[in-house]
Structure 1
């Protein structure tokens, strides 16, 4: 067990005054003297993990809750388990750290799993199992599989997933701690659960496809956010809707030029089968509206345009309600999961026109054209009930294709605490 201490002083001697860490006989010092303390601590933790450390004890002065969590984010590894003994002596803080770790670790587990092992029905099953481990009998659920989706009118999820040998799924999970079966629904969470994305007939390149096991990151994030909120004392009824599919190529795959008629009557021309996430989320948002929830939060690895706009250190957030958007950003800062608002106005809905349907699912140009993230959010807004407050998370920061200075390769868990905080407001 390696002891890790903090120091506000620069490193000395052979390590140089710019070193992140310096080594003593039985401990390591992290030097954090600059304006970006949490980033520096996370970088130091990643350095220790990369050097083979797997067991550490955080000790000494200066370990605030935020600093301990930043260390864990950097220390967590892709292919090995790690053991971190927290420095905190406060029971409430320890409980919060452990709950946050459980949710973040679950996200890593399911997002980093291979597409062969993590398919639509497995994702839905794992989400139910995880939430029941947290909330027990307060959890009930319903799963629609394959052609059952068509029977119920969920055309988007069925169309995207029908070409796979493993059928598409819609999971509707009910967390109801009130004991009242007629209790109003406080919020609905909707997650994109594309367990593998080939792009369909708008097929991705090999390089663009290799990390597409992460395309169910939205479903994983909202599931873990609900678990984390429950562990923090959430007492209101929340529904979770996961729209899960594999987007594959086969003779029965949905095609460019197809027109989908959604349950709300809206018609959508498919001009890009690689813009499939919004097609499945549309089902989930309609379903959320049927539940009369005053708050709807959706999360998805939706657009490359969001990553181009905000990079991989931020999630992009959208809402038609400025106060809700400001609240989401304020909470992101509070929990140190940066999120940044991108433009969304009603007129963005007209940016994907179709001659054959009410709208297209994208624009038939590379990357969806300019403003692609806003146009995708506007597409989703067409399926949101006018009576609901709605915020959309385009999860630009939830996955790393490879290790970098602060993160191991794979899922990061960023977005979980932000969405949990919104649920607890």
Structure 2
């Protein structure tokens, strides 16, 4: 198969091309930068080229920066295999781009896998194996599954996953390149709901169709850690993946149930479709026990975040202004988009219960106003007050349908931001 060369130019197209920003001549396609937003323009141009049935390209010319090459590859990607982007630039740039591609491809593969292919235990195993292949003897891990979760008092993961015949699981992974006794610098927590039916708060068919993506948080933090390791991470990091299938059965958890968490917090279930925060509560407590200076969790958590920031940004929350600033700087350094949403102490109390310390949502459609902040407030109850904490609601991690910027399916948007945070 012939490879198409893709070049950038700041010159306008020939008159007969009209206002086109992508033109073709033989084996070359040319993207005509117009100065408005080159990153967005190049990503959209990549989608246009891909839509012509072109599957192999080689980037050529001096105008290609690392960021421009990366967004082109993001736009060129699809859920189906069989496409290839050839990098340009010096060897260091090519190696960095290849490391990014390996990590993003791993995240996309996990997220796009069917729910039948990816059970909770398989998610934990695949994440652990991939990171072990990268980190070797610097990686150790354990997988707690099924009834053992209750014995360890990880009640949220167990409750959400007990309706499935395939057991829920918690992956605890330690990357330690420094040596025995080293402090944990960062703890990562990922929501790993491999399929979300909504439980007894059943989703519609339309809402359920893409819920294989509900483990996007787990895929994002795993891929980010792998990328950071590939690019020289030299600090101790712990990873916690909270994995479960949220299904309906005679064993499933129900509305009105009350969970008592390891830290003593009691939670009334008023919506079984607000399950992500229930599993993350366990992961955040485990991360807090590690003594990490910074805790980062990532989750495809709320539709409210998508409504607030669209699917072009990931929403971020933190009680610490300096942590928000660090996240913004990290995202900007790798040309990803984040936007902060409100989180104040009173958000902990926005889901009241007459029977427990808190409810897991509000008993109204969509969780009511401020749903993304209310979810973050719930999670805050399970974070150590000694740790800095960043919560990422991954509004930009998945596209239900192809758009002008992305192919349908996982985007891996957020992987670079978390990997950059790990380096700082």
> Is the CA contact 2:140–2:174 (under 8 Å) kept in the aligned structure 1?
yes
Which residue is 1:9 aligned to? 11
TM superposition shift of 1:60: 1.3
> Is the CA contact 2:301–2:394 (under 8 Å) kept in the aligned structure 1?
yes
Which residue is 2:239 aligned to? 240
Name the CA distance, whole Å, in 2 between partners of 1:173 and 1:148. 17
TM, length-normalised to structure 2 = 0.98
Bigger CA drift: 328-337 or 385-394?
328-337
Structure 2, unaligned stretches of length 5 or more?
Answer: none
Which residue is 2:170 aligned to? 170
Which residue is 1:130 aligned to? 130
Which residue is 1:195 aligned to? 194
TM superposition shift of 1:129: 1.5
Name the CA distance, whole Å, in 2 between partners of 1:318 and 1:226. 20
Cα-to-partner distance string for 1:191-230 (whole Å, 9 max, x where unaligned):
0000000000000000000000000000000000101111
> Is the CA contact 2:78–2:409 (under 8 Å) kept in the aligned structure 1?
no
Which residue is 1:78 aligned to? 79
Equivalence map 1:262-277=2 (5 Å) = 262-277=261-276
> Would you say 1:94 and 2:80 are equivalent positions?
no
Name the CA distance, whole Å, in 1 between partners of 2:149 and 2:180. 25
SS in 1 for 2:171: strand
Name the CA distance, whole Å, in 2 between partners of 1:3 and 1:133. 34
> Is the CA contact 2:23–2:31 (under 8 Å) kept in the aligned structure 1?
yes
> Would you say 1:320 and 2:322 are equivalent positions?
no
Name the CA distance, whole Å, in 2 between partners of 1:203 and 1:120. 20
TM, length-normalised to structure 1 = 0.98
Aligned-residue Cα RMSD (Å) equals 0.8
Name the CA distance, whole Å, in 2 between partners of 1:192 and 1:293. 19
Name the CA distance, whole Å, in 2 between partners of 1:125 and 1:8. 48
Cα-to-partner distance string for 1:71-104 (whole Å, 9 max, x where unaligned):
100111211222111111x222111111111111
Name the CA distance, whole Å, in 2 between partners of 1:333 and 1:387. 27
Q: Count the aligned residue pairs.
A: 422
Bigger CA drift: 153-162 or 61-70?
61-70
TM superposition shift of 1:34: 2.9
TM superposition shift of 1:133: 2.0
Name the CA distance, whole Å, in 2 between partners of 1:269 and 1:14. 65
Moved over 2 A (4+): none
TM superposition shift of 1:8: 1.1
SS in 2 for 1:170: strand
TM superposition shift of 1:350: 1.0
Equivalence map 1:197-212=2 (5 Å) = 197-212=196-211
